[in-house]
Amino acid sequence: MPRKALISGITGQDGSYLAELLLDKGYQVSGITRRSSSPNIERLTHIIDRIQLISGDLLDQNSLVAAIQQSEPDEVYNLAAQSFVATSWRQAELTGQFTALGVTRMLDAIRAVNPKIRFYQASSSEMFGAATPPQNESTPFHPRSPYAVAKVFGHFITQNYRESFGLYACSGILFNHESPRRGLEFVTRKVTNAAARIQLGLQKDLAMGNLSAKRDWGFAGDYVEAIWMMLQADTPKDFVVATGVSHSVEYLLEVAFSHLNLDYRDFVRVDPSLIRPAEVDYLCGDSSEAQRAFGWKPRTNFEQLIAMMVEADLERNRRNPAAVHFVSGV
Ligand code: NDP
Ligand code: GDP
């Protein structure tokens, strides 16, 4: 009998890579999608015939119970969230409903239908916030945005249900991970898409926020392997997943633009409205515990990742410039 997995957030970046990985491993894959007026399966079109999509929403407990009953999973991966930090100040309450309480709803749905299901929670390095790097599993959290506060709740409720009810529930504390499928508002994709559009004459300049922030950026395709490995261990445990190498936003600009023989200084201007109310200055993860426990290591370095993203954005913009037009103000 094939193993069965249910993914919330399957239409997102990580959901699409994880679905591919699980299909390759012979899983029967189901995913929860929320209702929208037009289909939102752009990242899944290449595997759409091989997965089952079930309508549901993290804001609706009954729909989560029904999705678990229908898909009968051995493993649930809770990737769904309002995942963009900047939006979390403008929609703080909604972010709490999705990103914090949504985790409780999913855990309660598992308890109600089948407490033997293994549960993965998508925790985030944003929880470390202002903590001094390198950050690992023992670093205390100091969240700096409503998003990060909500993720801390999700992290601790997962731990609490593990301790209270004996669920197999664990969290991966993943540092930023990117890909050609990353949402356009995140800084890597915003930059690679703009560099491609400037090269093609479709865009003139690029407004940016804080250029000195540093992130530990990895490739999403590598990170979903760690997510799956975590759920295969005999006992549930939380792990940091990171590359251990950090770069500034300014270096990101340099790498992306120079890949196209452009100098970013000719095109980039800092827009004060894009500076956040509170910033996370410096994230750099120590994932040696994950390496020791299940042998996970990243395969893609930063320069390879950005080159891959710039090339994909060049191709996409050549094909259909309107589809990847940058939305200003984020
Ligand atoms: P995306 O923003 O690409 O995807 C988010 C997914 O959540 C989408 O499928 C979205 O659906 C879904 N979703 C949002 N709200 C709801 C809801 N109310 N009910 C059902 N589904 C909902 O995120 P990523 O793939 O990048 O990230 C996956 C998870 O990992 C997220 O929880 C994120 O916070 C976390 N994370 C990500 C990191 C990263 O660097 N990528 C780092 C650390 C943690 P729709 O398509 O309908 O909008
Ligand atoms: P985050 O780490 O989850 O907030 O991921 P982002 O990709 O949204 O942001 C990473 C860092 O880039 C943060 O420190 C932002 O302040 C910084 N940054 C600078 N300019 C921009 C911008 O124009 N857009 C975004 N999204 N981030 C920016």
- Report the domain count for the chain: 2
Which residue minimizes the CA distance to atom 23 of ligand 1? Answer: 12
What's the whole-number average pLDDT of the chain? 97
pLDDT digits (tens, 9 = 90+) for 149-195: 999 999 999 999 999 999 999 999 999 999 999 999 999 999 999 99
Q: Do residues 166 and 77 share a domain? A: yes
Q: Residue 300 pLDDT more than 60?
A: yes
Would you tell me how many other CB atoms lie within 10 Å of the CB of residue 83?
23
pLDDT digits (tens, 9 = 90+) for 29-57: 999 999 999 889 999 999 999 999 999 99
Within 8 A by CB and 6+ apart from 31, the residues are 6, 7, 8, 9, 10, 11, 15, 19, 44, 51, 52, 53, 54
Q: Do residues 144 and 192 share a domain? A: no
Cα separation, 79 vs 190, in Å, equals 22
pLDDT digits (tens, 9 = 90+) for 252-294: 999 999 999 999 999 999 999 999 999 999 999 999 999 999 9
* pTM of this prediction exceeds 0.95: yes
- Is residue 124 among the annotated active site residues? yes
Q: What is the pLDDT at residue 261?
A: 98
Q: What is the pLDDT at residue 330?
A: 59
Cα separation, 47 vs 41, in Å, equals 10
Atom of ligand 1 nearest to the CA of 78: 32
User: Which residues span the domain enclosing 270?
Assistant: 185-216+246-282+300-319
Which residue minimizes the CA distance to atom 9 of ligand 2? Answer: 187
Share of the chain above pLDDT 90, in %: 96
Q: Do residues 135 and 103 share a domain? A: yes
3-state secondary structure of 156: helix
Q: Which two tokens stand for residue 197?
A: 């559009």
61: enclosing H helix or E strand: helix 61-71
Q: Do residues 150 and 193 share a domain? A: no
Q: Do residues 115 and 258 share a domain? A: no
Q: Is residue 325 part of a domain?
A: no
Q: Which of 65, 71, 85, 95 is nearest to 19 (CA)?
A: 71
In this structure, the residues whose C-beta lies within 6 A of any atom of ligand 2 are 85-86, 126, 176, 185-187, 190, 208-210, 213, 215, 249, 274, 276, 279-280
Please pick, among 27, 77, 120, 147, the residue that the annotation labels catalytic. 147
Q: What is the pLDDT at residue 322?
A: 79
Q: Do residues 147 and 261 share a domain? A: no
Q: Do residues 106 and 224 share a domain? A: yes
Share of the chain above pLDDT 70, in %: 98
Q: What is the pLDDT at residue 321?
A: 79
pLDDT digits (tens, 9 = 90+) for 213-261: 999 999 999 999 999 999 999 999 999 999 999 999 999 999 999 999 9
Q: Residue 327 pLDDT more than 80?
A: no
